[in-house]
Homo-oligomer: A and B are copies of this chain.
Amino acid sequence: MTGFLTVLRRELRIALRRKGDALNVLVFFVVVASLFPLGVGPEPNQLRAMAAGVAWIAALLAALLSLARLFAADYADGTLEQMLVAPQPLAAVVLAKICAHWLLTGLPLALVAPLIGLQYGLPADALCVLLVSLLVGTPVLSLLGAAGAALTLGVRGGGALLGLLVLPLFVPVLVFGAGAVTASLIGINPAAHLSLLGAFLAVSLLVGPWASCAALRVALD
């Protein structure tokens, strides 16, 4: 537990120092969201139909792009080595890094998404569904993504490989996440979609940290 808190605190502190990275997601999101009307044209119906897709694609891209660097800096400067030889269990450390990643990408995105949805003209209940779907779905991106990042650490062609590994796992999350919002827009109960997302989350909570730990040990061998 100390290990978890120590690492979490440090990750957040570094993010705060850099500011860039934390703000980056928001900048990114606002860019994606506000550029779409620019590129696509500002018809209200079209925008409403797009809102969930835009939010979810932004979440997916933000995750994908920040994951490549999840372990890279710690790997390069020797911190990861220290984490492996530390008496603290590696799982706690990895979980803390995953948590930090979610707090810095998934959570801000989820919280900002309703604002964007509002601008795109989503009704209140759809906004709620959007928020819930992102809150349940984005941790899956961090959890499974971390495993992918650990597996491709220090591997030649890591970037594309990471995409190849995790995208197939992410697409269902996107489809069900955006699907939930679309369902609520056309008056269908989104619970089915959301519970599917929940099941995904449960599975990835089991699989993600374990796979990440194992992969990190291999990467540093």
Q: In the bound complex, do residue B31 and residue A163 qualify as a contact, i.e. CB atoms below 8 Å apart?
A: yes
- Give, as a whole number of angstroms, the nearest-CB distance from A9 to chain B: 19
Q: CB within 8 Å of B: which of A26-82?
A: 27-28, 31-32, 35-36, 38-41, 46, 49-50, 52-54, 56-57, 60-61, 64-65, 68
Question: A205 to B167, alpha carbons, bound, how many Å?
Answer: 37
Q: Which of B21, B22, B32, B161 contacts A20 (CB 8 A)?
A: B161
> What B residues does A68 contact at CB under 8 A?
20
Q: In the bound complex, do residue A60 and residue B35 qualify as a contact, i.e. CB atoms below 8 Å apart?
A: yes
Question: A50 to B162, alpha carbons, bound, how many Å?
Answer: 28
Copies in the complex: 2
Interface residue stretch chosen among A85-93, A152-160, A190-198? A152-160
> What B residues does A27 contact at CB under 8 A?
160, 163-164, 167
Known: A53-B36, A57-B39, A61-B61. A23 touches B156 (CB 8 A): no
Q: In the bound complex, do residue B31 and residue A158 qualify as a contact, i.e. CB atoms below 8 Å apart?
A: no
Interface residue stretch chosen among A135-143, A170-178, A213-221? A170-178
Q: Taking the complex as formed, is A204 at the interface, i.e. its CB lies under 8 A from any CB of chain B?
A: no
> What B residues does A52 contact at CB under 8 A?
39
Q: A-side binding surface: helix, strand, loop or mixed?
A: helix
Q: In the bound complex, do residue B24 and residue A53 qualify as a contact, i.e. CB atoms below 8 Å apart?
A: no
- Give, as a whole number of angstroms, the nearest-CB distance from A217 to chain B: 22
Closest to A40 in B: B53
Known: A31-B64, A41-B182. A156 touches B19 (CB 8 A): yes
> What B residues does A20 contact at CB under 8 A?
68, 156-162
> What B residues does A182 contact at CB under 8 A?
41
Question: A68 to B17, alpha carbons, bound, how many Å?
Answer: 17
Q: In the bound complex, do residue B160 and residue A19 qualify as a contact, i.e. CB atoms below 8 Å apart?
A: yes
> What B residues does A175 contact at CB under 8 A?
38
Interface contacts beyond A31-B64, A31-B163: sample of 15 additional A-B pairs, CB < 8 Å, sorted by A: A21-B160, A23-B157, A23-B160, A24-B159, A27-B163, A28-B61, A32-B57, A36-B57, A38-B174, A38-B175, A38-B178, A39-B178, A41-B49, A46-B46, A46-B49
